[in-house]
Amino acid sequence: MSDDLSSDLRELAASGETPPPVSGAEIRFRAVRRRRGRRTAATVSVAGACAAAGLALLLALHLGDGGTRERPSPAASPTAPSRTPVAVGATVDLARRVLTAAGRDMPVSAGMPGRPTPTGRMTVVAKRDVRVVPALEVGPKDVYALKVPWVIELRAADGTTNFVGGLSTDQKAPGNYDVTDGWIGLRSADAQWLYGQLDLGTVVEIGDSGSGPSEAAVDSVPPAVGGTGAQPSAGRQPAATAVPSR
């Protein structure tokens, strides 16, 4: 091939070449940017997947079926402290004029008309060998006060007070008729037995059955003898003593 032909061919090839649109440095910069974009997309994708998984776990832990919040089981729920029922140590039926304690029925005399005996639950708060009370119709007419033996003092939750004691000035009244100004009178022997039977804190339930007294049945109840409680010492027997008027 001649030199002229070779020269023409080189000129023709040079004229047909198309210069690159960008420089080599620009091409390298674009390649680096594409690699960074792919890494960022991958990182965002992984973070999104983790967030979705965490949200799903949170929903699974805190939401029950149907999208409602589960309630704690009854065993885990706090419960109010249980209260132990208070045992009743004695009951008084004002209509029948009977006091019952430890399976023993004892006749009583309670408040007269106009001076009713308080009803409801009362607690033994004190015990006295003797207590001085107004005589009223109890005892001789020339006295103004009585010394009642074997007194058990009672108090209700609302502050109402009363007491049970021996009605030795009228042994026929218990079980038959009412002669006190509201306190509960027993025969002397019964009052002494009950005094030893009921401790401080014992509950006494006082009510009215409305059945009416039965004199024959009550009179047949013998007075209590002895008892499980404290007994008086020898030579010291409290008795209802009339205090003469001045």
Q: What percent of the chain has pLDDT over 90?
A: 39
The pLDDT of residue 204: 97
Based on the fold, state whether residues 109 and 183 are members of the same structural domain: yes
Rounded CA gap, 96 and 105, in Å? 11
- Is 180 domain-assigned? yes
Rounded CA gap, 61 and 165, in Å? 69
Based on the fold, state whether residues 65 and 125 are members of the same structural domain: no
- Position 207 pLDDT exceeds 80: yes
Confidence of residue 146 (pLDDT cuts 50, 70, 90): confident
The pLDDT of residue 53: 65
- Is 144 domain-assigned? yes
Backbone φ and ψ for 244, nearest 5 degrees, come out as -65, 150
The amino acid occupying position 37 is G
The amino acid occupying position 151 is V
Query: pLDDT for 18-72, tens place per residue?
Result: 555 656 676 666 776 777 766 666 565 656 666 666 666 655 555 554 444 445 5
Based on the fold, state whether residues 131 and 216 are members of the same structural domain: yes
Based on the fold, state whether residues 52 and 99 are members of the same structural domain: no
pLDDT-wise least confident of 60-69, 105-114, 205-214: 60-69
- Is 126 domain-assigned? yes
The pLDDT of residue 133: 80
The pLDDT of residue 35: 72
> Of 12, 45, 72, which residue is a domain's last?
72
Burial of 199 (0-12, 13-18, 19+ CB in 10 A): exposed
The pLDDT of residue 86: 67
For the ranges 72-76, 82-86, 167-171, 223-227, the maximum mean pLDDT occurs at 167-171
Based on the fold, state whether residues 180 and 103 are members of the same structural domain: yes
> Of 13, 46, 72, which residue is a domain's last?
72
Based on the fold, state whether residues 30 and 125 are members of the same structural domain: no
The pLDDT of residue 168: 83
pLDDT-wise least confident of 5-14, 122-131, 152-161: 5-14
Residue-range definition of the domain harbouring residue 188: 88-229+239-244
Based on the fold, state whether residues 68 and 149 are members of the same structural domain: no
- Is 81 domain-assigned? no
154: domain CATH number is 2.40.440.10
pLDDT-wise least confident of 58-62, 143-147, 230-234: 230-234
- Residue from 157, 155, 169 nearest 241 by CA: 169
Based on the fold, state whether residues 206 and 182 are members of the same structural domain: yes
Stated as kind and residue range, the H or E segment containing 80 is none
- Is 234 domain-assigned? no
The count of structural domains within the chain is: 2
pTM: predicted TM-score of the whole model, two decimal places: 0.54
Based on the fold, state whether residues 103 and 224 are members of the same structural domain: yes
- Is 217 domain-assigned? yes
- Is 78 domain-assigned? no
Stated as kind and residue range, the H or E segment containing 2 is none
Look-up of token digits 């390649």: 31
- Is 147 domain-assigned? yes
Based on the fold, state whether residues 101 and 31 are members of the same structural domain: no
pLDDT-wise least confident of 110-114, 167-171, 194-198, 235-239: 235-239
Query: pLDDT for 159-201, tens place per residue?
Result: 999 999 999 888 899 999 999 989 999 999 999 999 999 999 9
Strand partners, 105: 100
Stated as kind and residue range, the H or E segment containing 150 is strand 143-156
Based on the fold, state whether residues 134 and 168 are members of the same structural domain: yes
Mean pLDDT of 95-119: 95
Based on the fold, state whether residues 41 and 117 are members of the same structural domain: no
The amino acid occupying position 82 is S
Rounded CA gap, 51 and 44, in Å? 10
